[in-house]
Amino acid sequence: MTRRRFIADEVAGDRAALIGEHADHLVRVLRVRVGQDFDIATDSVVRRGRISFVGAARVEFELGEEISRARLAEITLVLAVFKFDRMEWAIEKCTELGVSRIVPVIARRTDAHLAAASAKRAERWQRIARQAAEQSRRTAPPQIAAPVKLAGALDLTGALRIVLAESEEQTLLRDLVKPQTAEDGIVLAVGPEGGWTEGELQSFRQSGWTSASLGGTILRAETAAMAATAVVASALYSI
């Protein structure tokens, strides 16, 4: 049976701990006991952890041998801010699919009230990403940057920088991504509901980004984010 994996809040030598709400989930929901084994992710390493202490807001582990882990490609997702419930779903699923970083962007078509409230959502987005990372047995959640305007994301670096555009009719995303780009990573930009404006697409082009399409249908923003991440991840993990 596959052991559950958790990302440690504290690590010191051969000991680790989960604290606060993180620990409360183990105590109240999983009803863990001293002596149980789990996989504990500590930075870039996963080790077997045996519970040595269970408290109301703290669960401690004695760490054992290192466990082999799957290699993740470097995928940065530039995600225009859209309706929070749908955006949270996109963050959760794209985390499961393996994105290494998410950069929320205030786009021209981002609703003003969402733009104003987005900075206060960062902590919730990080919590969602962490839970999704544990569920999908990652060693760490993706980094989630503070929301920025588009100009703040145009200079992100990667071997390939791709913006999804409904107006693109020649180039499909699947034809751009090659396994050899995995080392230097890929940056993928997904627009808000209604898509990027022509002015924003021009800014992408002027900054050296490549436009691509997911096909002939129009997708919701969260569907596009998940589908694009899956296409890229599938190509990069084939190495």
User: Fold for domain 5-67?
Assistant: Ribosomal Protein L25; Chain P (2.40.240)
Q: Spell out the domain ranges in the chain.
A: 5-67, 75-236
Q: What's the CATH number for 75-236?
A: 3.40.1280.10
Tens-place pLDDT, residues 41-74? 887 788 899 999 998 889 999 999 888 766 667 8
Torsion (CA) 9, 122, 209, 212 in degrees, nearest 10 = 100
pLDDT band at 4 (very low <50, low <70, confident <90, very high): confident
Q: Which of residues 78 and 159 earns the better pLDDT score?
A: 78
Q: Which of residues 26 and 229 earns the better pLDDT score?
A: 229
Tens-place pLDDT, residues 98-147? 999 999 999 999 999 999 999 899 999 999 999 999 888 888 889 999 99
pLDDT at 22 exceeding the cut of 60: yes
pLDDT band at 172 (very low <50, low <70, confident <90, very high): very high
pLDDT band at 216 (very low <50, low <70, confident <90, very high): confident
Least confident window among 138-147, 158-167, 201-210, 230-239: 230-239
Tens-place pLDDT, residues 78-90? 999 999 999 999 9
Mean of the per-residue pLDDT values for the chain?
Answer: 90
Q: For residues 75 and 188, what is the distance between their CA atoms, to the nearest angstrom?
A: 7
pLDDT band at 177 (very low <50, low <70, confident <90, very high): confident
Percent of the chain with pLDDT strictly greater than 70? 94
Percent of the chain with pLDDT strictly greater than 90? 62
pLDDT band at 234 (very low <50, low <70, confident <90, very high): confident
Q: Which of residues 24 and 236 earns the better pLDDT score?
A: 24
Average pLDDT estimate for 167-187: 81
DSSP letter string, the chain: -PPPEEE-SEEETTEEEEEHHHHHIIIIII---TT-EEEEEETTEEEEEEEEEE-SSEEEEEEEEEE-------EEEEEE---HHHHHHHHHHHHHHT-SEEEEEE-TTS-HHHHHHGGGGHHHHHHHHHHHHHHTT-SSPPEEPPPEEGGGTTT---SEEEEE-TT--S-BHHHH--GGGTTT-EEEEE--TT---HHHHHHHHHTT-EEEB--SSPPPHHHHHHHHHHHHHHHHTT-
pLDDT given at position 239: 42
